Structure 1
Amino acid sequence: MEKMMVVIYNTALESAVMKCIDTCGITCYTKVPTVYGRGETGGPRMGTHVWPGENSMLWIVAGEEKIRSLLEHARELKMKHDGKGVKVFILPVEEKL
């Protein structure tokens, strides 16, 4: 069964996130290069002088095995950065057109 993984990450981690994607054999994804918001830790990331920083977001639909592998890589990356910089959501894919 396919799953959708949504990955929101600090743009400073771009190369590390893309390396995880490549390592897991993920070849199809949609990237939103700039997203703003506020997570559970730290302040808002709005790309301004007051609230500097930006995030990116990936939407990935793949088989459960690849998604689980990518989740483990994302978990390791997050731990490497003191639990910050990466947020992952996994959703079921009911239908695809």
Structure 2
Amino acid sequence: MLHFAGTGLASDRAGIEAWLKKHPNDKAVRQNWEKLQFLAAEAKELNRVNGELVGLHMRHNTEILESLRSKANRQDLYGANGQTAFTAPRKIIDSA
């Protein structure tokens, strides 16, 4: 296992690249480092796509909830008497 403690190199990308320059014959470490970089880039892209999907679903759910709320607050729903909840007063005309 590769340890950077005591090498004077930072435990970050720059430190690993510096170590690899000092040890060009250590092909296994180089391959593992390249694989790790590839997997990290892939994970970053998957995380970005996942974030977009979460945002899309949140917008969709918000639109549906707003639609349901506005329909629940509408005054033209029918009541038990078969009439809308709000009816305009009607004037009875008794003469023709």
Q: TM-score, normalised by structure 1?
A: 0.29
The structure with the largest strand share of the pair is: 1
The structure with the largest helix share of the pair is: 2
Q: From the CA coordinates, give the structure whose radius of gyration is larger.
A: 2
Q: Which has the higher contact order (CA 8 A, sep 6+)?
A: 1
Q: TM-score, normalised by structure 2?
A: 0.29
